[in-house]
Amino acid sequence: MAGIGFELRKLLRKDSYLGLIQAYGYAGIISSGPWVLSILGVLLIGIFSATRVIPASQVVQFLVTVTWLMAGSLILTGLLQLMFTRFIADRLFERRHDIVLPNLMGALTLTTLVSGLSGMLILLLLFHQSLLYELLVLGSFVVLCNIWIVVVFLSGMKAYRLILGVFLLGYGVTVAVAMLMTGFGLEGLLFGFLCGQSVLLFSMLAMVLRDYPGRAFVSYRFLRRDQVFYSLAATGLFYNMAIWADKFMFWLNPATSESIIAPLRASVIYDVPIFLAYLSIIPGMAVFLVRMETDFAEIYDRFYESVREGDTLKHIREYKKQMVLTVRQGIYEIFKVQGMTVVVLLMLGPLILDALGISRLYIPLLNVDLVGVGVQVLLLAILNVLFYLDLLGIALLLCLMFLLANIGLTWISFQLGPSFYGYGFAVAVTVTSLVGLVILSRQLDRLEYETFMLQ
């Protein structure tokens, strides 16, 4: 589903610095848009609200509520994201475009039902806030879960400028409405967030309806036993749990967190550095999208098309060599660009914290998180290649390894003391990435053998 990648290649073919900047700029924003723009949008609301009449405690409650909503929605939909992506990709490969929209509506119906019921249960059992607050939280949770399903289609579309505009519109509405509703306190901020996310969701749905018209309205074919990839469901769940495991452990540990609202907790020690670090992924994600969804996707198609159409062994091996070279170059570029970004931010860290009015005591933890988040981009690239090569079992084991390592090493960091906070996540993602690189290298060496044995 590399539609954006092929469009970005047109910009690269301009052979000019402007085309290069445009390509990587669009790629960085689109690839990291849902995550980075959500952080920026929520932070802007927090900054603007702090200068108004809203008490600081309610601003903090809003930020913590949205953070938990993001985490919960990503983990819950992790079961469906990759599995549904594979189903849609297979149908597009078969050129059965009329099946796409009905199954999207089926996936959204299922997501709405599951997220709504689970959200209601949690609110009834654990929350004792105002009815309006709980309704806004529930609505935001359901909308976010649906966004993570619809966002699957964006990488297959070619309208990258329209996609960028949709994201900016959604988070622009989020900030604007939240500011207009500041007189209503916490509930006003949450209403602004819900409005903005709803605009984003329905705007993306309109784009899908335009590109994938269908005859039926709802279909659940993606849940048929012969269509379901259970390993992908587990992989999506484990990956999202792994990303948030260390955050949850810091939030739930009384020694590193404090209660904010109802059962929701936050870690003053950990939250600020890790979320600032995640803003650094834009350069690495830009390279990831351009290289993996253009260069690699193109040579990948050539290789498997030559196998399917009975090309000569010489040509097949030549395409395989080009594919291996493309993977190595892509990973090297991600490592180089993200590494340079991390180095620059390590040097500018004190100045950034001063500009944001944050204590320099956060510098050691920010430095560790910058390295960990940078390596996470590399892990994402490795997993992406494994998905392309249909090595789903290996991807599943890597995500499980990441999850268990993050939990275990974060717990060890608690025992060692504050000086070691953040090392659990950084070491876990680094070890997982190194193991993934070794396994991927071995699989690429025997790629043509594995491919023919599967025919």
Write the pLDDT tens digit of every residue in 346-367: 888 888 888 777 777 888 888 9
Residue 342 and residue 426 in contact, taking contact as beta carbons nearer than 8 Å = no
Domain coordinates of the chain in residue numbers?
Answer: 3-223, 275-453
Q: What single string gives the DSSP state of each residue in 396-454?
A: HHHHHHHHHHHHHHHHHHHHH-GGGTTHHHHHHHHHHHHHHHHHHHHHHHTHHHHHHHT
CA–CA distance, 97 with 215 (Å, rounded to integer): 10
Quick check: 55 pLDDT over 50? yes
Distance CA 444, CA 451 (A): 11
**Range 405-418 burial, b when 16+ CB lie within 10 A, else e:** bbbebbeebbeeee
pLDDT for res 6: 55
pLDDT, residue 72, reads 94
% residues pLDDT > 90 (the chain): 32
Per-residue confidence (pLDDT) for residue 1, from 0 to 100 = 43
> What is the spatial distance between Cα 174 and Cα 271, in angstroms, rounded to a whole number?
22
> Using the 8-state DSSP alphabet, how is residue 262 labeled?
T
Please give the single-letter amino acid code of residue 437. Answer: L
Is 327 a residue whose pLDDT tops 60? yes
Determine the average pLDDT of the residues in 320-334: 84
Mean pLDDT of 385-410: 93
Tell me what the mean pLDDT of segment 278-284 comes to: 80
- 78 pLDDT tier (thresholds 50, 70, 90): very high
Q: How many CB atoms lie within 10 A of CB 433?
A: 23
At 406 the pLDDT is 96
Check residue 46 and give its pLDDT: 66
The C-alpha atoms of residue 265 and residue 263 are separated, in whole angstroms, by 6
Query: Token pair of 235, please?
Result: 């992989």
| CA separation for the pair 249, 255 (Å, rounded) | 11
- pTM above 0.85? yes
| Chain-centroid distance, C-alpha 262 | 27
What does the pLDDT look like over 141-180, one tens digit per residue?
Answer: 999 999 989 887 765 555 556 777 787 788 888 888 888 8
Highest mean pLDDT, choosing among 246-250, 328-332, 446-450 = 246-250
Burial code of 363-376, b = ≥16 C-beta within 10 A, e = fewer? bbbbbbbbbbbbbb
Segment 104-108 shows an average pLDDT of 93
- Strand partners for 261: 264
Please choose, from the candidates 267, 268, 166, the residue with its C-alpha nearest in 3D space to the C-alpha of residue 207: 166
Cβ atoms of 28 and 285 within 8 Å: the answer is yes
